[in-house]
Chain A
Amino acid sequence: MHIACPLTGWQPCFPFGTRIPCGGRRIPRVWWRAGKEWLVRRAVFAFNGGMDERQTPAALPAADASVSMDHLLLAVGQAGDRAAFAQVFAYFAPRVKAYLRRLGVDAGGADELVQEVMLLVWRRADTFDPRQSSASTWIFTIARNKRVDALRREARPEFDPTDPLLLPEAETPADHRIESRESIARMRVALNALPPEQAELLRLAYFDEVPHSTISAERGIPLGTVKSRLRLAMDRLRKVLREPV
């Protein structure tokens, strides 16, 4: 997806103050702000199905998917709401299947694992906290752990939040972290704006069974380049979750 701000024509990857190629002018801070607001509105629009008809199965709720999926999942967790679960299933099951298919699971096996993932979603819905994560992120972590468990038959070591050794977060004032339901919309925009060479490496980390040390060897990219591309991607994506609009 190519996005250029209608107001200024600039690409989202330019920080304010960057010299734009045409005329050599610098982007004023107000334009930067306005552009970012526009990007977020655009993301919500895209999320509502305005952009992407092909991603809208019949059962997909028409309203703002990110918001309603959080609410629906909450209803599943708090009241065991089956109608809400049906909608969560209709939206996420085909995506979890696409995720597993990308990881190399055959179609039949994928359906079986989708069922296992969605069963976990039903069973654990009461631990879902929309202040901590959005429905998409929460379900991604369940699908990811199922992948490690079922595809590689390994345990996934995780830190324990109640471990007496756990060093707590430093007290940072508010941290400017944006709300979880907005985070997904912003992140989708940021991912689509990522330079292709960074996006490709990123997809390997999420969708491939390739240890990262072999990425550079297989693709003939020097290890240092892989690392610097990943660093750029990480900086850019994490910034999206913090900056105030």
Chain B
Amino acid sequence: MRLPTHHPDEALLFGYAGGSLNEASALVLATHMTYCPNCRQVVTDLEVVGGALLDDLDPEPVDDGLFQSLMAQIDANFMPRPAIQASRPPGNGAARHGFVVPEPLRRYVGDDLSLLDWESALPGVRLTPVAMTGADDGSRVQLMRMDAGCTVPRHGHEGMELVVVLAGGFSDGYGAYRTGDVAILHSGSEHAPRAHDDGCLCLAVNMERAAMTAPMDCYLSLMMAR
């Protein structure tokens, strides 16, 4: 299979390895890394940076009794070390639809996307929200399906948008994105994404409400803001 050619930028990779990235963006990165050995390697390297930073911190003494109370806790509820969490194999959905949901996303939406509540946003464009586990931080996470050749009218974004392609692909003025690719749309930039001939399934994260530039397109804005 083809390797992704559009990667998250340095700030996102540092944020993921360092732990400062919010859950929604981290989900986009983890999904991308399923397809991208290159970024997996980068994150592994940046975790070494974290280890070195930890080593370099001025130690702050912990409470004198902390070690003893930890050992007492270990003795009190001794449990066999947990086996490494078995991964959940893709279920029936994969067999039925021939599409496997990558694991980081499977935890959020299950393995059968046809069971989700898809809403039509525009002709040929359907959306379904993806709930995060953490508190609402203003980011909106959605799965988006675009039919072959369908175009979303030109629009801009107030905040940053992150998209990772799961199947098929789309093109806009910035590039052509296929499975595993990450598209980053910065605040203030505009695009009119058009689905490729095999359609497009992607995970989209909007950090703030999208602002449509043409009045006609307010409809989409309202749909997407829900």
Q: Let me know if B214 is at the binding interface, CB within 8 A.
A: no
| Interface residues of B, count at CB 8 A | 78
Flag if B33 contacts A153 (CB, 8 Å): no
Q: Let me know if B195 is at the binding interface, CB within 8 A.
A: no
Once the chains are docked, how many angstroms separate the CA of A90 from the CA of B34?
Answer: 37
In the complex, how many angstroms separate the beta carbon of A36 from the nearest chain B beta carbon?
A: 17
Q: Which residues of A contact B27 (CB under 8 A)?
A: 157
In the complex, how many angstroms separate the beta carbon of B37 from the nearest chain A beta carbon?
A: 4
Our pick among B21, B50, B58, B159 for the contact of A55 (Cβ within 8 Å) is: B58
Q: Let me know if B216 is at the binding interface, CB within 8 A.
A: no
Q: Which residues of A contact B100 (CB under 8 A)?
A: 164-165
Flag if A203 contacts B10 (CB, 8 Å): no
Q: Let me know if A221 is at the binding interface, CB within 8 A.
A: no
In the complex, how many angstroms separate the beta carbon of B180 from the nearest chain A beta carbon?
A: 8
In the complex, how many angstroms separate the beta carbon of B95 from the nearest chain A beta carbon?
A: 12
Q: Which residues of B contact A205 (CB under 8 A)?
A: 11, 14-15, 17-18, 20
Selected interface stretch from A11-19, A25-33, A118-126: A118-126
Q: Which residues of A contact B58 (CB under 8 A)?
A: 54-55, 98
Once the chains are docked, how many angstroms separate the CA of A208 from the CA of B21?
Answer: 10
Flag if B47 contacts A155 (CB, 8 Å): no
In the complex, how many angstroms separate the beta carbon of A226 from the nearest chain B beta carbon?
A: 7
Interface centre among B22, B48, B55, B61 (most CB of A within 10 A): B55
Flag if B62 contacts A211 (CB, 8 Å): no
Residues A200-216 near B (CB distance < 8 A): 202-213, 215
Flag if B104 contacts A208 (CB, 8 Å): no
Flag if A95 contacts B74 (CB, 8 Å): no
| Interface residues of A, count at CB 8 A | 91
Flag if A227 contacts B87 (CB, 8 Å): no
Q: Let me know if B54 is at the binding interface, CB within 8 A.
A: yes
Flag if A226 contacts B11 (CB, 8 Å): yes
Once the chains are docked, how many angstroms separate the CA of A156 from the CA of B156?
Answer: 29
Q: Which residues of A contact B62 (CB under 8 A)?
A: 93-94, 97, 111, 114
Q: Which B residues are closer than 8 A to A by beta carbons?
A: 1, 3, 9-15, 17-23, 26-27, 29-31, 33-37, 40-42, 44-63, 66-67, 69-71, 73-74, 81-82, 84, 87, 89-90, 100, 102-105, 107, 132-135, 159-160, 180, 186-187, 207
A97-B59, A155-B133 known; 18 other A-B pairs, CB under 8 Å? Answer: A97-B62, A140-B51, A141-B47, A144-B50, A145-B19, A163-B102, A166-B34, A167-B37, A184-B52, A187-B49, A188-B52, A188-B56, A191-B52, A191-B56, A211-B20, A211-B22, A212-B15, A237-B45
